[in-house]
Structure formats: C-alpha cells, structure tokens
Amino acid sequence: MATTQGSAGAPDLDRPSAARMYDFFLGGAHNFSADRQAAARILEVYPTAALAAQANRAFLRRAVNELLRRGVRQFLDLGSGIPTAGNVHEIVDDAAPGARVLYVDIDPVAVAHSQSILTGRSDVGVLQADVRNPDEILDAPLTRQLIDLREPVAVLAVAMLHFVADREDPAGILARFRDAVPTGSYLALSHGTVDRQPEHAARSEEIYRDTRDPLTLRTRPEIEVLLGGWDLIDPGLVWLPEWRPDWPDETGEDPSRTEILCAVGRKA
C-alpha cells in the first residue's frame, strides 16, 4: 500500500475546493457540482483559466525534469492537489525511477485519490497537512521516512501560495522550508498575479471567497519577496510559457495571458 499519513475525513462536497476546481480546469473527473459551478463563474471572468492550468502543469513538468537533470532525487510537493496525468511521481518515474516524492495537501478528496493511485509505492507518500504549519509537515514521521534533509530537496510550491493570505505570512512559510533544506536544494514556484488585468483579478478573488480556499493574487514585486533567499536560475521570474519552453514557439503570441508568474531558485 502507498505510504500515507493523515486522515482524509469526510469532504464537504457542497463547498467548492480550489484543488477540485483545478482538476476541472485540467479536464479531470475528481470534481463535483459545486466545484464546476464555481469554475464556470471563473471562466466568465478569466476565459483562459483552463489554458493557464495546462500551462502551469507544463511548467511543473519542465521544472521537475530540470531539477532531475541537476541531480535532485527528493521532491516535496506542497499543495499537490488531486492526481491527474503528469503528476510529479509520473515525471520522476520516466527519468529517475526510485526518486522520492512526498505529496502534501489539506483537501481530503485530493488526499484520498492520491492514496488510491499510489497503492504499492514505497517511494511516494501522501501527507494530509496544512502548508501554513511548516513544522507539522517537516516533523511528520512520513516526511522523515521519505525525505532526507541532509540531501538536496526540491520544494514545489506550484499554484499554491496564492491560496495563502498575507496575514498568514506566505514569505515566512517559504523561509521555514528554505531554512530546513540543505544547500543545493531548489524551490519551484508559480503564482497568480494581478498585474495584467487588475479588475478581472479582483473579480476572481471575489468568486474564490465562496470556496474553502480564498484567493490572494499578488503583484510581481510581492511575488519577488516570496522568492527571497533563493538564487533564481535562468530565465528568472517569467510568465509560465516563458520558463524554458520545449520549443521556440511554445510561448505563443502573448504568454502573459496565463496571468501566472513562475521561477525556480537554488539555495546557495
């Protein structure tokens, strides 16, 4: 059986969840009526939401592959969401079988489905925990079982921190994980921004207030603060399609239409 920790509990299916809405945008099947209704409202405001979700998943794949090329063999995926095609352990299996992955999510549906697809895996774990409590994650027996903090770790905060409010100190959360991992570790981050269409961003935030995961979109300078203490690798903080595209025309005519910035940084 897959290595797991935490109780999935009974999910609230009447209240939309960001993880299940993201699953819907990716074309997944692990979402419910309330999630689809909220996602439909987002698409009215943000018609490229599904495109952005796909671009975000493509960034995750490229970032993980780059970190594998750099020798990283441990991945801590914060706010991992509901399993869909192209999850971290699938990327790892193709390039470096045996590398270890720990998924962390607070959503009970995400945890339950992760558990169901990881049966028989001893190199992949699922932890139900709140990223707002880094020490709960870092001190968990499952984390200590899978992640050796003496060796480089890839901390993945992909489309996650825009669900952490300013009062919850997202920069402090990332700093705690940064301080816990050794030199040579990496952070991969993507984050929604208000910069391109502030009015649409405000409406999206309003819709997400009715979900279990309120949204806090940020400016580029605010996202740069989150990356403090990490040395960004080329090309720095850019729109999703601009981060090391697989082919020259992958960025399209307007990469900013994803409205999500991303970066990968190294702990020196």
Interval 23-69: pLDDT, tens: 999 998 888 999 999 999 999 999 999 999 999 999 999 999 999 99
Q: Which residue has the higher pLDDT, 127 or 247?
A: 127
- Quick: pLDDT tens for 197-246: 898 899 999 999 989 899 999 999 999 999 999 999 999 999 999 999 98
CA dihedral over 30, 56, 142, 175, signed as positive or negative: negative
Kind of pairing between the strands at 186-192 and 260-266: antiparallel
Structural domain spans, the chain: 3-266
Query: Does 95 or 103 have the greater pLDDT score?
Result: 103
The pTM for the full model equals: 0.93
d(CA 86, CA 60) in angstroms, rounded, equals 9
Q: What's the pLDDT at 120?
A: 81
CATH of domain 3-266: 3.40.50.150
CB 83, CB 111: distance < 8 Å: no
Beta-carbon count within 10 A of 95 CB: 11
- In this predicted structure, the answer to whether residue 248 has a pLDDT above a threshold of 80 is no
Is pLDDT at 164 greater than 90 in this prediction? yes
Tokens of 176: 């705690």
Q: Give the confidence band of 6 by pLDDT, cuts at 50, 70, 90.
A: low
CA 110 to chain centre: 13
pLDDT > 80? residue 85: no
Classify burial at 179, counting beta carbons within 10 Å of its beta carbon; exposed 0-12, middle 13-18, buried 19 or more.
exposed
DSSP assignment letter at 235: T
Q: Can you tell me the mean pLDDT for 116-126? A: 88
Output 4 or 223, whichever has higher pLDDT. Answer: 223
For residue 136, CA distances in Å to 7, 8, 29, 30, 180 come to 14, 16, 30, 27, 13
